[in-house]
Structure formats: structure tokens, C-alpha cells
Structure 1
């Protein structure tokens, strides 16, 4: 992490931005991970820095006050931007200036959830990878086309710039930072104290359900897809489905992509993985049986697709939701 690597240990200063309308959970994540003494040897100095003077009203209605201000941000080693206000408003110029100055001084800047938007506003993310809450990915791409966004990821580490997905992924990102600063052993001790999974890789996919679209104009088309979802264990092909709808393969393929935004093959794999995920979470069926019920030809293919698309194995997914 640049100037704050564990090998060059000094007492790390961490600034957490507070602003009018901040969400208490987002604000508290870096404060809980780094503002409490969870274990010996992890003792950063944490400042909650108010964007403007005076009490700041949170999105939950209560107010917070702090003795630190935006002027302290450029002096910090790590700066956290805990999400941002909705509906989205561009940040004030003085905040952008403070973040750029902090980065110039060698600080690591962390955009948690919608904080990625603020980090992107600085221009520092141009040409780099980032993530944010999946529900705001389209808006992010429209605003910041120069940033390589991957909304499927839990967090993205670009050295001195980090971004995380929504809400709970901020915990994963903070534990990742703790791991970089203090080592895996200490980060795991922090995780145990806060009862969080000790390690979820940044490449693990956000837990996103992508249900069948609700705006399908053709009732027969929707009915056909509903039938497939109810019988994922069977074999399904474009030709068979197109024929049942009295459409040519070409017309069906074009129509499907226009409505669903993905190819039929991509949609079918996503639906099969969605069923498999639900079965892993809610049943005691073996991985082999779950693969069969979801329509995968064999367990090897199922495991490969699961790992490539979700970033973890089926067993790891089950443990994440149900424990060891």
C-alpha cells in the first residue's frame, strides 16, 4: 500500500469523511475496523473528518459531531469515503481538492460503495479498475467512461486507490486493508472480533440475483422462459424454444437479446447458477445433485462455471451463507 506498507511501520492515521446525510452503517465500518482496539499491534489513529463545521445529520435522523475537519484529510495515510448522498450530487470542489492533495502526499484513498463515485470525480481512477454497488453501475459508467468498472466484484485494489461494492462489502475491503497493513493473522483476529468472515476475495462476486425481466411484452415469450426456469434440469436449446414460439432462430436470438440484454446461452447459465446458489444455501443436497438439478451436464462443468462467474467454489459459497 505504497507508503504505509507493514515493513515501514509507523502509526497509521486514517481519515473517515463525514457529511450531511451520511449513512450510519457506512460511516461506522472503517470506524469499527480501525477505530477500536481489536488486538495488540493494530493501533491506527482514526479521525472522523467533517465536510462542513457543526453537527452533521445522518440519513437515520440523528446527528454526529467531530473535532476533525476536511483540512485534516490531506495529512492522513488512508482516507475513507463512506458512500455518498442520494440522489447523487457532485461533491464540492474543496473535497476533490483535499482528496487529490492527500493522494499527492502518498495517501491511500478508499471509496466505499457510492464513495467510488467521489473517487472517480477526482480523475484519479481514469484508466483504472473499480467497483461500486451493482444497482448504480449504469449511472457510474455514464458519468465516468474512462474508468474500467466491474460491478460484480466485492472490492478492487489498485494500489493507492481502492473501491468496494455496497454496504457489507465495505467490511471485506477494510479487512483487506488491515491484511495489507498488519498481516493476515491480525486481520483474522479483527474479523473474529467483529464476527465477519475473515476473508472474502475481492474477486468474489456480489450476491446479486438477476431475476427474469418484468417488462416482457410478449406473454408467450415470458411463459416460455418461465417454463424453462421451472425445469432447469432438462436440456434447452435456442432452436426448440424458437420453434415453440413460431420464430426463426435469428429472429428469436435478436428478440431475446433486445429484451433480456444478454444472449440466451448467457441467460440460461445465469438461471442455472441462481438455482444452484439457492440450493446450496437452503438444502443439504450434495454438490453433484445440485449440479444435476440445475441442468449442468457434469459436476466438473458446474464447478468451473461457478468459480469463473462467482469467484468462489460451490463449497465456499455454501459456507459463506451457512457456516462451516
Structure 2
């Protein structure tokens, strides 16, 4: 039997723990046997979560006995990871144990030094901070999970379910993983190229930046062609000087900035209007629908239609107690 140890640290997010417990706990082999045994462990017998206290039966010694260790995320109020927990994670990694993180649990793995030189992901809203704190980690902010073999990381809590199914499929094959997915009422693989749905914020611009008038002009003219030459002329600079100063002040090239601004405009229109893709392509400045689909997928990580299906605002219809619309 394969033992899965879930490491609970103070201010652990309950759903980050519940998702792996649900997926592995529901997994069955064709003959009905349970292939996984789950254990929640912690540095101390009682752990605070966001909302209640949790009595934990297993200590850190469970990490040494586990085949897989899962590190859930903790809230922003959580203290620094317990030194003993970090040592136990390093020892488990040295012994060849498979270790995975949920959401911002990637920060714990990074603090333990386990992600240095590896690709990793976390919730998109925390990706920039993970990259800033741990520059040796190759942060991938736009995927659901990253599998490095022994070390795996997932995005938000829901993405951890995708990661758990991926591990089950790796361990026991697609048929067992598909059955586990059905028991948890979710697809074996989510549509969208295993990409997070990201709201793409612009990089911050220094207060009082001389570029601000140009950036405002860009936002007002997204439906029109915007060239490097036009932006440089607007700023009263040569193209070379403008490009250099733009990157210095924003960390982005001018054309990358325009692409992200157009993606944000398209996200808003997909969420809040019923405009066809052809119209949104024009309104956001992508030109043809084909170019829109290709560039939107490159920036956001999924197709415009998949994004709309997931996020379009709709009036909530009355429901009876069984959840069936009336």
C-alpha cells in the first residue's frame, strides 16, 4: 500500500488538505482494494487552520515512512515554516520520496531548497512573489501543475486535484485514475491545455513616470494599430531610447505591454458581453479572429470560448433544494 503523508503547518488552508484526502481516499483498484493510505502529520499535535483547530495524529516521522508527501498551502498570516518540518522535507527528498505542493505550499518547498534549478508553479497571484523570493526557481505562472519527476507543484487548490489524478495515473494507470475522477465528480483532464485562468496585471510603473501619458494613450487606442514607432513618437523619443526606457520602467517591452493590455480588454468583453469572437477581436485590437484566438491563448493559456464558458457573468436562475434549475 502506498502511503501519502499530508504535512499540515500552522494556518494551513483546509481545502488544500481536503482535496488530496478526497482524491487519494476515493481511489480503488479494479478488485475494490484501496491502493493509498493517507496520513495527516504536523510538527505538533494541534494545528490551527483558517477557521478551526485540527488534532493531528501523526508527527514528522510520518514523512520518513511515506511514499508521497504533499505540502498544502498556508494563509498569509502563517509564520515561517517550522525548521523541523523543513529538515524533514529535505530528508524525505534525499531518500527519494515523491513530494508535491498545493498552491502556495510551493513556498515551503522553495524555502527548503528543494525547487532550486527546477520549474515550479503556484497560484498565479503569488507567482511573482515566489520568483522574487526564490530566484533560483524557474516559476511557471500559467500552468495547472509542473511534474519534475520527484518534485511536483500545483497552482490553486482546485489544480491540486488535477495533480493528484496525474500522480494516480502515473502510479496505477489511466483506468484507475479515470475511476477516481468519476468518484470525485470531475474530469480526468481539464480543458484548456492545463493552463491557469489568469488576470494579467500590468507590471507596476513608477509614480510620476514620463511614460504614463503614453500608457494612457495605448489603453484608449487598443482597437487601432499600435506600432513601436507610434508609441515612440507619442513620447517624443527615438524608438531605441523609448524601448530602453520602457523596459527599464516596466520590465516589459512596449509590444508585450500592448499584447497584455489587449488580452485584458478581451477578458473583460468575454466576461461581460455576448459579443461574438469576431467583434471582440476587433474591439481588443487583435485584427482577425484567427490572430485573436492564437494570441489570446498564448497570453491567457486557453481559448476565448473556454474562457467565456468558465467566467462569463450570468444571472443566477432560481433553484430548488436539489439544485435543479426551474
Give the TM interval when normalised to the shorter protein: 0.7 to 0.9
Corresponding position of 2:54: 64
SS in 1 for 2:106: helix
CA drift of 1:322 comes to 5.6
**Stretch deviating more after TM superposition (88-97 or 78-87):** 88-97
The TM-score with structure 2 as length reference comes to 0.81
Give how far 1:158 is off: 0.6
* Secondary structure of 2:169 counterpart: helix
Q: State the SS of the aligned residue for 2:7.
A: strand
Task: Give the unaligned 5+ runs of structure 1.
Answer: 1-10
Aligned ranges for residues 1-324 of structure 1 at < 5 Å?
Answer: 11-36=1-26, 43=34, 44-53=36-45, 55-60=46-51, 62-84=52-74, 86=76, 90-196=80-186, 198-200=188-190, 203-211=194-202, 213=204, 215-218=206-209, 221-321=211-311
Q: Secondary structure at the match of 2:20?
A: helix
Segments of 5+ residues of structure 2 without an aligned counterpart are: 314-326
**Shift in alpha-carbon separation, 1:38–1:317, aligned structure 2, 3 A:** farther
Q: Which whole-Å deviations, capped at 9, do the CAs of 1:115-147 have from their partners, x for residues lacking one? A: 212222333323221122344444433443332
8 A Cα contact 2:10 2:79, kept in partner: no
Structure 2 Cα separation of the partners of residues 192 and 271 of structure 1: 39
Alpha-carbon distance between aligned partners in 1 of 2:103 and 2:240, rounded to the nearest angstrom: 40
2:205·2:249 contact (CA, 8 Å) conserved in 1? no
Structure 1 residues 113 and 230, CA, compared in 2 at 3 Å: closer, same or farther?
A: same
With over 3 angstroms needed to count, the CA separation of the structure-2 counterparts of 1:37 and 1:205, relative to structure 1, is: closer
CA contact (8 A) 2:11 2:78 kept: no
TM-score, length basis structure 1: 0.81
Question: For the structure 1 residues 88 and 215, does the alpha-carbon distance in structure 2 shift closer, same or farther, using more than 3 Å as the test?
Answer: farther
Shift of residue 72, structure 1, vs aligned partner: 1.1
1:129 & 1:37 partners in 2: Cα distance? 28
| Residues 165 and 206 in structure 1, CA contact (< 8 A), matched pair in contact too | no
CA distance in 2, matches of 1:38, 1:210: 42
CA distance 1:109–1:194, change in 2 (3 Å): same
